[in-house]
Structure 1
Amino acid sequence: MHLIQFFDDKGNRAVGVTRGGDTRRVNGVSSVYELVQKALAGAGGLAATVEAAGLGETLDKLALAREGRLLAPIDHPDAAHLHVTGTGLTHLGSAATRDAMHKANGEKPAGELTDSMKMFRMGLENGKPAPGEKGVQPEWFYKGNGHIVANPGKAIPSPSFALDAGEEPEIAGIYVIDQNGQPRRLGFALGNEFSDHVTERINYLYLAHSKLRACSFGPELRVGDLPRHIEGKSRIIRDGKVLWEKPFLSGEDNMSHTIANLEYHHFKYDLFCQPGDVHVHMFGTATLSFADGISTQNGDTFEIEESQFGLPLRNPVHVEAEKPVVIAGIY
């Protein structure tokens, strides 16, 4: 079952569900968040709540995408209560680019492991603990709140001070915290964890700065567990032509951590278990156009697709004009 959010032909928010290739409007709800709250208040899960709500007209998802009417597959009525976070060095092969960055900067002599490679090896050795055991914690980063999310099809803004505007094709886990502070996993979506890799390359301690950028995820929320093997395509389109294209892999068969281990090390913090909050957690990637020497330009379009997740995630990049930073005192 897949869920989408969209604007109907009257400009009202609505929810759609895809099952068995057929997409229908879900009656009586205007957001996935509202649908989740109904599920939490009832005895059933999301599928049972959709059934209870009933289905309306058939939807054409491709037309909704063409017309720019798709929304991110979940949001929060108060954008400050949606948290976007992520983990790095979680995929087999993901350390190669980061390790090369460190070595290029002369941070470690030849033969000595960089910090990134050390952390990657920690994941290989203890990122997949047995059920009930605790594994090693991954690299973790904060990206922003709901204000940084660009809807599918809409431009991802890159600030004027950015040194790079690079895509990161990955999978995002989608969670809502219930009234008892228990994280509830809804499912997974395609994600573009947009980052500034040139800033990161200057020094890996700039990683936190490089991640404070916009992002996008969706358009569809795949309800349920994550497939063990995910193989999609990431591409950059410039002036109507494919500039760069490469497959990306995800799912636990291609990762150095289990999803459960990554989830534990995020939600072990009480800060992230506040009732009503939404969490979009990016699980990392091993595929970057930046690693192949690509430097994106204003107007380039990112396209990330994987058939198990429905519609592709497309977003152009827009370089913003410089904004003055004015600090006003009130004493």
Structure 2
Amino acid sequence: MSFLRLLQHRAADGARSVILAEDDNAHFLEGVTSTRELALRAIAAGQTLEAAARGCGAGASVDIAAEYEKGHLIAPIDHQDPAHLLLTGTGLTHLGSAEGRDKMHKAAASGENVTDSMRMFLEGLEGGKPAAGSVGQQPEWFYKGDGSQLVGPKEAFTMPSFAQDGGEEPELAGIYVIGDDGTPYRLGLAIANEFSDHVTERHNYLWLAHSKLRQAAIGPELMIGELPGHIEGTSRILRGGETIWEKPFLSGEANMSHSFGNLEHHHFKYDLFRRAGDVHVHFFGTATLSFSDGIQTQEGDVFEITAAPFTLPVSNTLTRAEERAVTVKAL
């Protein structure tokens, strides 16, 4: 089975274009310069995103692997006003995802007490995939930032100067555009690195919100049309060109305790997330962390995440911002 992917291209002169890829073939689309523009066109015409893409003129063929290496592929979704792109996510959504989190929070529990994380995971396992037309269990939810925090598929991660850790989270992200009438439209899925500070989170789970206010990256390919229920990938960390940690991960609804629909309902039920024209990148969670295996990342480490049927990785080098004093002045 072939899967369609949309990619955004930015040439050396800054000119932007959209690429449609199917299997090993890819070509530029004529008459469109961004995925968001194409999606809004599809909504206005009452078409699927695939139909809108196929309705564009087919431009020149392109080698997307070569363009990736040149750094010409940017995130497959963005917004010209970064304040109108929101990065959010849900945790404890995957089968097995409670193990690492529960290890972190065991120190806060004693005896046979069940941690809040484990309780939330079990509630999702029981009620995260409701019958059609029903509302399921509310998941954990967090905010990461606006479009200024979205990092390209080969750009560096810059953790704050005060960060205690910079750790990878390999997962899928749902990509959405809000229609003029406030209807959320899912465009498709991208592989992602939902970058977090796990040392801060481990100190106290009430600091989860702080630990998530970090950059995040998505891979260059936006998978559209019919989506696979089972996705297998590999997450690795390279240091000095050598792999110091590597582990497979599973995602897709078949490997999750929540359905996409349930996670989407509990995000978009809030009116402020249904503002016409906005873009949402929503991270669906993971069960695989190097931090759970005792890995301490260092500046210069490279996080690399791959997953079929995506053909290109998301690869980001860890850096740290310079310390800068922040002063609040009274007016």
TM interval, shorter chain, is: over 0.9
Q: Specify the SS of the correspondent of 2:235.
A: strand
Structure 1 distance, partners of 2:53, 2:259, is 30
Structure 2 distance, partners of 1:225, 1:266, is 22
Contact 2:191 2:218 in 1 (8 A): yes
Q: Specify the SS of the correspondent of 1:130.
A: coil
Kindly indicate whether residue 281 of structure 2 is the aligned counterpart of residue 280 of structure 1. yes
Q: Tell me the number of residue pairs that the alignment of Structure 1 and Structure 2 aligns.
A: 328
1:284-323 paired onto structure 2 within 5 Å = 284-323=285-324
Structure 1 distance, partners of 2:85, 2:321, is 24
| Segment drifting more, 208-217 vs 298-307 | 298-307
Contact 1:188 1:224 in 2 (8 A): no
Kindly indicate whether residue 48 of structure 2 is the aligned counterpart of residue 45 of structure 1. yes
Tell me by how many angstroms 1:226 deviates: 3.3
Q: Specify the SS of the correspondent of 1:306.
A: strand
Q: Which amino acid in structure 2 is aligned with residue 37 of structure 1? A: L
Partner of 1:101: 104
Tell me by how many angstroms 1:179 deviates: 0.4
- Matched-pair identity in %: 56
Distance verdict in 2 for CA 1:162–1:6, change over 3 Å = same
| Segment drifting more, 9-18 vs 183-192 | 9-18
| Segment drifting more, 166-175 vs 28-37 | 28-37
Structure 2 distance, partners of 1:148, 1:9, is 23
Kindly indicate whether residue 182 of structure 2 is the aligned counterpart of residue 181 of structure 1. yes
What TM-score results when the alignment is normalised by the length of structure 1?
0.97
Distance verdict in 2 for CA 1:272–1:225, change over 3 Å = farther
Structure 1 distance, partners of 2:193, 2:137, is 25
Structure 1 distance, partners of 2:113, 2:238, is 39
Structure 2 distance, partners of 1:160, 1:214, is 13
Tell me by how many angstroms 1:11 deviates: 2.7
Partner of 1:88: 91
Structure 1 gap ranges (5+): none
Contact 1:172 1:281 in 2 (8 A): yes
Partner of 1:235: 236
Structure 1 distance, partners of 2:46, 2:94, is 37
Deviations 1:101-133 (A, max 9, x none): 111x2x111211011011011011111111111
Partner of 1:130: 131
Q: Specify the SS of the correspondent of 1:117.
A: helix
Contact 1:2 1:19 in 2 (8 A): yes
Tell me by how many angstroms 1:9 deviates: 4.6
Distance verdict in 2 for CA 1:43–1:261, change over 3 Å = closer
Tell me by how many angstroms 1:326 deviates: 2.0
Deviations 1:224-280 (A, max 9, x none): 343111110000011111111000111122111111111111111111011000010
Partner of 1:220: 221
1:8-27 paired onto structure 2 within 5 Å = 8-27=11-30
Structure 2 gap ranges (5+): none
Q: Specify the SS of the correspondent of 1:296.
A: coil
Q: Which amino acid in structure 2 is aligned with residue 311 of structure 1? A: L
Q: Specify the SS of the correspondent of 1:260.
A: helix
Deviations 1:272-302 (A, max 9, x none): 0110000100000000000011111111111
Contact 1:13 1:31 in 2 (8 A): yes
Q: Which amino acid in structure 1 is aligned with residue 37 of structure 2? A: E
Q: Specify the SS of the correspondent of 1:38.
A: helix
Q: Specify the SS of the correspondent of 2:46.
A: coil
Structure 2 distance, partners of 1:157, 1:151, is 12
Partner of 1:269: 270
Structure 2 distance, partners of 1:90, 1:50, is 32
Distance verdict in 2 for CA 1:225–1:203, change over 3 Å = farther
| Segment drifting more, 19-28 vs 82-91 | 19-28
Structure 1 distance, partners of 2:244, 2:23, is 34
Structure 2 distance, partners of 1:328, 1:150, is 31
In structure 2, which of residues 76, 79, 83 is the aligned counterpart of residue 76 of structure 1? 79
